[in-house]
Amino acid sequence: DTDTDAGARNSTSLRTPIVAVLGHVDHGKTSLLDKIRGSAVIEGEAGAITQHIGATAVPLDVISSIAGDLVDPDDFDLPGLLFIDTPGHHSFTTLRSRGGALADIAILVVDVNDGFQPQTLEALDILKRSETPFIVAANKIDTVPGWNATEDSPINATYEAQTDRVSSRLDESLYEIIGNLSDEGFSADLYWRVQNFQRNVGVVPVSAMTGEGVPDLLTVMMGLSQRYMKEEMEIDVTGPGVGTVLEVKEEKGFGTTIDTVLYDGTIRADDQLVVGGMNEPIVTDVRALLQPRPLAEIRTESRFEKVDEISAASGIKIAAPELEDAMAGAPVRVVRNRDLDEVIQEVEAELADIAVDTAEEGVVVKADTLGSLEAMADALDEAEVPIVRAEVGDVAPRDVSVASTADDPKQQAILGFNVETLSDADQRAETEDVTIFTDEVIYQLIDEYEEHVDELERAQQDTILDNIVRPARFRILPDHTFRQNDPAVVGVEVNSGTVQNNTNIVKFDGSEPERVGQVKGIQEQGEDVDEARAGNRVSVAIDGPTVGRQIEEDDELWAEIPEKHAKILEQELASEIPGDELEALNMYLDKQRSRDPFWGK
Ligand code: GDP
């Protein structure tokens, strides 16, 4: 029997909690998982830990031998812990189950030297949203200068081996992390001070390098699961299996396969399945259930061995026909004795649950998995960026076509999270003026897009301002008529706003505006200029009127603002133009509106 792993054949109906590891890049997620696996191999009997597809099961007796005095196996009836092998919040968001995160519990890894970093915050945000309980592994304690390492030691003993100076330096870093957590709304403390892990986040100092603190980490995980999650772990092990696609993979000799994490029930080699697909649920029959072959047995044959059945919680590769359209993050459900239509409906409901709300207009979003698509949609919703289309997959030419039809240039954009851009899509984007953004970090992707939008808006306003008549109020100075007409040349003082060349000029007779001519040249102290600002005294040539008839000395004149321009100025550019120009605009609007209250609205 190769199926000796923690979750599979346990007689109780308590399944193994699923554990995910998150944290900023290089803070030690992979090393920590390796350390846990490594310790488990050393401590356990051969074969006691089981390598699953995409996950590693560490049974309770192995945990208890690693943890030594910290864990008494009699205190626990959960069978162990199932660690998802791919760390990072990306796989965390992919791995969802009905109603939220697939992982039951998480480890947030924070480098004690580096502290909180952008992806730490992003991970916290995801944990908060999905309401996943977690503990913080404050990693790399062995790098505190002067550290005296005791391999694989519990934290209590290892603390005692340090000088006061070294341990207080570590304490400082730990309290900084605790402070950061509190800034994010989590009340946290060193794990041995935490009474209620439901209310407080426990911080466990560890070293993925020396193994120090790893016994504590496993103990806390086990205790936390046992204490607060036992009910959720109660499943009908023999019932029809329910899981989530971790990855869709081409496998030599098997065709398209789905690496699946099973979190409920059992899946058998002769089961019928419903799997979430790109367009509709896929109904198919299992061809083979595959597990990794133990290292010693790998020769020339397949890396996998077939099994007849497997129970939750576990990772399994499923080979079946028609899986080409399966999606990472999609649900997998065994039909067995149930009504097929009912199961299809369940899968549809789960997919709809993940589906992103799209608007009539917006940007195009692509992501590699359903879960990450959903995370993108949440983040964009928060940033108030509407989405016109959201799909799993690489950026393709047809995405560019969709984006190019947007009326708003800001929406002629594609945001791709963790995906590639196909080369013909790149080419088309260039000719169709669509901008493609891709990144592996959601907040960076959104930042890039927002910067782009800011730039577009600035450029837009600059061109609008260039093409719009600027408000101006000015007065003809007494005794400053230099020429009567053709054109009239008079000295003026600009009271507020900006007088520009070629602008039409009006005069208000009561509330009735009356066009008197057009500015055909401005001179300031004998020099030609394009415009005159508030406070300037200049001479202007006005084509049209005759001084003494249409205009007179001491007259108040205005730049004639077309109604459309007035509307843009008031509604969009009020904060962009100088205060005196705004004042001129408001006075101009008052005059127009005393005649027609809706003018320029
Ligand atoms: P990940 O990106 O979060 O998976 O980080 P890795 O596990 O790849 O670790 C990044 C680097 O930090 C590697 O060079 C590791 O060897 C190193 N590292 C990880 N954990 C520790 C630790 O506890 N102590 C020390 N000294 N180095 C560590």
Average pLDDT over residues 235-246: 92
Average pLDDT over residues 490-507: 95
CA distance 536 to 566: 23
Whether pLDDT at 99 is above 70: no
* d(CA 454, ligand 1 centre) in Å: 38
Phi, psi of 572 (to 5 degrees): -120, -25
Mutate to test the pocket of ligand 1, among 22, 26, 112, 155 (most ligand atoms within 8 A of CB): 26
* d(CA 115, ligand 1 centre) in Å: 14
* d(CA 30, ligand 1 centre) in Å: 7
Q: Return the ligand 1 atom nearest residue 139 CA.
A: 23
Average pLDDT over residues 510-518: 89
- pLDDT tens sequence across 443-473: 899 999 999 999 998 888 888 888 889 999 9
Q: Return the ligand 1 atom nearest residue 23 CA.
A: 3
ipTM of the predicted structure? 0.99
What would the 3-class secondary structure string for 394-455 be? CECHHHHHHHHCCCCHHHCEEEEECCCECHHHHHHHHHHCCEEEEECCHHHHHHHHHHHHHH
Predicted pLDDT at 46: 47
Whether pLDDT at 598 is above 70: yes
pLDDT greater at residue 354 or residue 130: 130
Lowest mean pLDDT among 25-34, 46-55, 465-474, 529-538: 46-55
Whether pLDDT at 100 is above 80: no
- pLDDT tens sequence across 358-396: 888 999 999 988 878 888 998 899 899 999 998 888 999
- Total-model pTM: 0.69
**In what helix (H) or strand (E) does residue 177 lie, and over which residues does it extend?**
helix 164-183
**Average of per-residue pLDDT values in the chain:** 90
Give the dihedral sign, CA 226/229/230/235. negative
Average pLDDT over residues 96-104: 79
* d(CA 36, ligand 1 centre) in Å: 13
> How big is the CA angle at 554 (ends 549 and 557), to the nearest 5 degrees?
75
Q: Tell me the pLDDT band of 329, cut-offs 50, 70 and 90.
A: confident
Q: Is the CB of 113 under 6 A from ligand 1?
A: no
The answer to whether the beta carbons of residues 110 and 32 sit under 8 Å apart is no
